[in-house]
Amino acid sequence: MIVMVENEEVLTSIIDKTADHGPLGFLGLGLAATVVGMQGVGLFADAAMVVAMSIFLGGFAQIFAGIEGWKKGDLFGATAFTAFGLFWFSFAFILISTGIVDGVLGVASASSLAYYFLIWGVVSFALLIATFKIGVKAVIVVFITLTLAFFLTALSSFGLGLGLLPAIAILLLGLSSLYTALAIVLNDVYGKTVVPL
């Protein structure tokens, strides 16, 4: 007599113990945008802080958050954080290349910057639409201010005299993003909602 035994399938469950990637991404965006907004409203004139924050907080922090979002299956977070992390790298490159390699690359023209910001405005607007489905008010505010900042900066680069309006929008973006990041952290640490999102 031959006894046949089917192979038993063993299921292994893996528990994700990694931290929420959102606060890092929003903190990177918040710190970089706040510094850009502060420079834009005239609190300081030099670009060294803007370039540093753009590369290390806006760029690296958001890309790290995007990669973590991808690992967790968060398509929106992975896309938004990674794309905007790359935006900050490109923005820093524009600032650096304008000051260092003027003769090789030339200074970015106002119209090229206008189209650059306009394209990013379209991307942020599409992501803003997705935030309404996500339903977290603080995230919606971040993407409203992000979209306004890109479109106002584009319009300003096209030559519309908007004064400090683009810089104020960028500053509000930074502050709303910092609020969102820190609210997520505080709520997680306390295990309840202590700061509304």
Q: Provide the domain limits for residue 171.
A: 22-187
Is the pTM for the entire model greater than 0.85?
yes
CB atoms within 10 A of CB 27: 21
27 occurs within a structural domain? yes
Helix (H) or strand (E) holding 154: helix 137-157
Total domains in the fold of the chain: 1
Please give the C-alpha separations between residue 45 and each of 91, 106, 139, 177, in angstroms, as whole numbers: 17, 22, 30, 23
Span of 103-117, 160-174, 181-195 with lowest mean pLDDT? 103-117
171 occurs within a structural domain? yes
Model pLDDT for residues 136-176, shown as the tens digit of each residue: 999 999 999 999 999 999 999 999 989 999 999 999 999 99
197 occurs within a structural domain? no
